[in-house]
Amino acid sequence: MNEPRDIEEILNPEAIAEGVGELARQIAYRCGGDEVAFVGIHTRGVTLARRVAAALEGHGLRYPVGTLDVSLYRDDFDRRGPDLPSLAGSDVPFSLDGIRVVLFDEVIYTGRTIRAALDGLMDYGRPAKIELAVLVDRGHREIPIQPDYVAKTLGTTREQHVKVRFQEDDGEEGVSLETPHKSTAA
Amino acid sequence: MSELKPRKDLLDIEGLELPEIEHVLSNAVPFKQLFQRSVKKVPALRGKTVLNLFYEPSTRTSSSFEVAANRLSADVTNFTVSSSSVVKGESLLDTIETLQAMRSDYIVIRHQAAGVPDIVAKHTGASVVNAGDGYHAHPTQALLDAMTFREVHPDYEGRKVVIVGDILHSRVARSTSTLFNKLGIEVAVLGPGTLVPGGRHDFMKRLRSWDEVFDWKPDAVYLLRVQLERQEGQFFPGIAEYHKMYGVNTQRLARMRQLGAYLMHPGPVNRGVEITDEAMRYERSLINTQVENGIAVRMAVLHWLQPETDTN
């Protein structure tokens, strides 16, 4: 991760706050009267879910937030490098049976993380419906999974890297698009 | 993410580095949380095969590994070699060749001879987990003991554990005491003079009586199983004598209760030898927790090791 790269700031803290507000509005509009629970994917999906849940309290909607660690559901176990996954564990302290679940991740890319998360969710119960909310959709899906709620759609190339930083997880706030210099790109 | 050298085998505790121990023990916690769900299984090792190769009978350990592998969605084959057909020398290598042909990804092995898991590990790309070899090592037992002790004492450093019984013949004593020592937990031993080795584990304080044990104020009393099948009558006068000298009876239990000391035992328990029926019901007994944590720790170990069958 130390190779030279261009960094372009895509969302500043205010734009992230607007994005969170936008997700909250969309969810309130479509889920209003239903029994709804949020589940965030570790780590930043959890932060996003908590922020949207906090925003919805302003609309008089209180949704519980669970957390999901998808490491044990991934399909790239054989391809792990020297970075061994430290498991964060999942915490879904409510029943998912028969309710409407909104799954949160900060970025959707290939869709494989979401695929793993769906498997994980099903092991906690049988929701009536599962939807997906993301802060950034950067394209390049490898499986047919699409988000239902999106704050920002971003055209990217595969070489680029979308980096979301949240105050709670990273000590700073912003979304950047990082492009490796051509000379060092594989 | 923690950066660790990939490790193929788990053969003993001595060879482990602290970050590796922390990695396994901290990952065991979320694995244990899975046991609270109605679906206790995750697909992490789907399509992998685990061979349970037991040259010594052990229902508990082999079942624990089997449950751990099942909960990771691996396929398990149990291969129990009767103790009468002791396999040595060439025939061991023949067995390894057979195993190679089976293309297992993980081999869990228990053998009565120390060092056999090391030999198997050198001859196969599969990850080898030592499930007990002779008097040498039983690393997953040590890890589950550490997990169990740390659950009741998160501030475990500087705490004290006394191991009671046949230290000499116990791979549990050897692995667990080594791990506790690495983690900064003080270890003392109490046992018949003939069954406590001198010199090898200098870090272990030698106590000579239960009075000395209680004066030392241990945070846990770890009873070893008297291995009746291994040495009856040779190293101590008899079962009744052993119980009288080293067993946990009503009086000793009362003093443990005063101290708030926890009780640990690797199982299976010989009631009336190491411990009385009454002591088995002690409210600070961690024996059942040890069994549950054994599964979580073995899941964390299988998840951590990287077989060389992965990369082509």
- Chain A positions touching B3 (Cβ under 8 A) are 82-84
The pLDDT assigned to B311 comes to 46
- Chain B positions touching A91 (Cβ under 8 A) are 33
Is residue B124 in some structural domain?
A: yes
Classify residue B40 as exposed, middle or buried by CB count within 10 Å of its CB (0-12, 13-18, 19+): middle
Residues A140, A148 contacting (CB under 8 angstroms): no
Residue A74 φ/ψ region, left for φ over 0, alpha for ψ in the -120 to 50 degree band, beta for the rest: beta
The pLDDT assigned to B231 comes to 56
Say if residue B188 is in the same domain as residue B163.
yes
Under an 8 Å CB criterion, which residues of B touch A?
Answer: 1-6, 23, 26-27, 29-31, 33, 37, 39, 41-45, 72, 303-304, 306, 310-311
Is residue B149 in some structural domain?
A: yes
Residues A160, A137 contacting (CB under 8 angstroms): no
When the pLDDT of each residue in chain B is averaged and rounded to a whole number, the result is 90
pLDDT in tens, B112-135: 899 999 999 999 999 999 999 998
pLDDT in tens, B183-215: 999 999 999 887 787 666 678 899 999 999 999
Beta B106-111 vs B75-80: how paired, if at all? Answer: unpaired
Is residue A169 in some structural domain?
A: no
Range of the structural domain that residue A42 is part of: 13-76+94-158
Say if residue B145 is in the same domain as residue B184.
yes
- Give me Rg for the CA atoms of chain A: 17
What CA–CA distance (Å, rounded) separates B236 from B233? Answer: 6
Is residue A125 in some structural domain?
A: yes
Residues B125, B99 contacting (CB under 8 angstroms): no
Say if residue B149 is in the same domain as residue B196.
yes
pLDDT in tens, B252-283: 999 999 999 999 999 889 999 999 998 999 99
Q: Would you give the distance in Å from CA B87 to the centre of its chain?
A: 23
Is residue B50 in some structural domain?
A: yes
What CA–CA distance (Å, rounded) separates B68 from B297? Answer: 8
Say if residue B45 is in the same domain as residue B176.
no
A88 to chain B: closest CA residue: B30
Task: Name which of B1, B25, B106, B297 to mutate to probe chain A: the one with the most chain A Cβ atoms within 10 A of its Cβ.
Answer: B1
Is residue A176 in some structural domain?
A: no
CATH number for the domain that contains residue A23: 3.40.50.2020
Whether residue B305 is predicted with pLDDT greater than 90 in this model: the reply is yes
Q: Do B23 and A88 touch (CB under 8 A)?
A: no
Whether residue B312 is predicted with pLDDT greater than 50 in this model: the reply is no
Residue ranges in B161-286 assigned as alpha helix (H): 171-182, 210-216, 228-231, 239-246, 250-259, 277-280
Say if residue B174 is in the same domain as residue B206.
yes
Q: Would you place residue B232 in the very low, low, confident or very high pLDDT band (cuts 50, 70, 90)? A: low
A122 to chain B: closest CA residue: B39
Is residue A38 in some structural domain?
A: yes
Q: What are the pLDDT tens digits along chain A (186 aa)?
A: 567 889 999 999 999 999 999 999 999 999 978 999 999 999 999 999 999 999 999 889 999 999 999 999 987 776 666 667 789 889 999 999 999 999 999 999 999 999 999 999 999 999 999 999 999 999 999 999 999 999 999 999 999 999 999 999 999 999 999 999 875 444
Is residue B1 in some structural domain?
A: no
Range of the structural domain that residue B267 is part of: 139-287
How many structural domains compose chain B?
Answer: 2
CATH number for the domain that contains residue B206: 3.40.50.1370
The pLDDT assigned to B282 comes to 96
- Give the full edge-to-edge strand order of the sheet including A36-41: A65-68, A36-41, A100-108, A129-137, A149-153
CA angle B68, B41, B35 (to 5 degrees): 75
Is residue A181 in some structural domain?
A: no
Q: What is the pTM of this model?
A: 0.89
Say if residue B120 is in the same domain as residue B212.
no
Closest-CA residue to A168 (of A82, A65, A28, A70)? A65
Is residue B296 in some structural domain?
A: yes
Say if residue B106 is in the same domain as residue B33.
yes
The pLDDT assigned to B85 comes to 52
CB-nearest to B2 from A74, A84, A90 is: A84
Say if residue B96 is in the same domain as residue B154.
no
Say if residue B155 is in the same domain as residue B129.
no
- Chain B positions touching A42 (Cβ under 8 A) are none
How many structural domains compose chain A?
Answer: 1
Say if residue B93 is in the same domain as residue B165.
no
Is residue B267 in some structural domain?
A: yes
Q: Do A86 and B4 touch (CB under 8 A)?
A: no
Is residue B12 in some structural domain?
A: no
Is residue A21 in some structural domain?
A: yes
Is residue B87 in some structural domain?
A: yes
Whether residue B228 is predicted with pLDDT greater than 80 in this model: the reply is no
Say if residue B128 is in the same domain as residue B227.
no
- CA distances to A86, A131, B11, B174, B206 from B182, in Å: 21, 47, 16, 12, 18
Is residue A172 in some structural domain?
A: no
Say if residue B110 is in the same domain as residue B186.
no
